[in-house]
């Protein structure tokens, strides 16, 4: 009967197996390094952050500051109203990304207090629609005139509930 030999660490079978494992280990290390570099480039972190802007256009529009002269009390009938008094909710009803945020910035630049932004129940609003609590209807003329330069504004027939967290709701439409 022949004796079976068990392979040892110095035998050719183990050497071939170790060489194959070493090749796969190096391939895995290279893939991890390449993956980390791609991740850093996409996220814009580390030393690759400075190259990101050279290859791609900016994803979001640059914010634009809006300045308007303050109206004199004689020029506007609603000048005595404190624009920071009502809590305004801005909803995106146009489907255009970032529109609620830009309207929030626009209204805050005019002195209003915007407490929340979000998406409307649907994106089929053609005009910008305003809804008020009954106690804040006196802001309709002032808010409409502030928004008319940029948007086609209408006022909804229904009023906001007295228990609503916002006093005024602005749903931005496509126009």
Contacts of 136 (CB under 8 A, 6+ apart): 86, 167, 168
Q: Do 168 and 91 lie in a common domain?
A: yes
Among the listed residues 146, 139, 142, the one whose alpha carbon sits nearest the alpha carbon of residue 166: 139
Q: What is the Cα–Cα distance from 30 to 36, expressed in whole angstroms?
A: 10
Residue pair 131/88 in contact (Cβ under 8 Å)? The answer is: no
Q: Structural domain of residue 28, as residue ranges?
A: 12-55
Q: Do 93 and 157 lie in a common domain?
A: yes
On whether residue 69 sits in a domain, the answer given is no
On whether residue 47 sits in a domain, the answer given is yes
Q: How many domains does the chain have?
A: 2
pTM strictly above 0.75: no
On whether residue 65 sits in a domain, the answer given is no
Q: Do 101 and 168 lie in a common domain?
A: yes
pLDDT tens, per residue, the chain with 175 residues: 555 666 565 555 556 677 778 888 999 999 999 998 888 877 777 766 666 555 444 455 555 555 555 554 444 444 578 888 889 999 988 888 888 888 888 888 888 899 988 888 888 888 888 888 888 888 888 888 888 888 888 888 788 888 888 888 888 888 7
First and final C-alpha spacing in the chain: 95
Residue 120's CATH number: 3.30.70.2390
On whether residue 62 sits in a domain, the answer given is no
Q: Do 37 and 109 lie in a common domain?
A: no
On whether residue 81 sits in a domain, the answer given is no
């Amino acid at each position: 009967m022949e004796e079976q030999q068990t392979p040892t660490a110095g035998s050719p079978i183990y050497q071939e197996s170790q060489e194959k494992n070493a090749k796969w280990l190096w391939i895995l290390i290279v893939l991890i390094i390449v993956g980390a570099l791609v991740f850093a480039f996409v996220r814009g972190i580390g030393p690759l952050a400075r190259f990101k802007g050279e290859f791609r256009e900016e994803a979001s529009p640059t914010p634009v500051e809006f300045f308007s002269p303050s109206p004199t009390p004689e020029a506007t009938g609603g000048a005595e109203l404190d624009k920071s008094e009502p809590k305004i909710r801005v909803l995106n009803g146009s489907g255009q990304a970032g529109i609620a945020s830009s309207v929030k910035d626009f209204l805050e630049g005019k002195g209003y207090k915007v407490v929340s932004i979000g998406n409307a129940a649907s994106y089929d609003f053609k005009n910008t629609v305003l809804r008020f609590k009954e106690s804040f209807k006196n802001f309709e003329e002032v808010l409409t005139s502030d928004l008319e330069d940029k948007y086609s504004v209408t006022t909804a027939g229904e009023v906001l509930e007295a228990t609503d967290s916002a006093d005024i709701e602005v749903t931005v439409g496509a126009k």
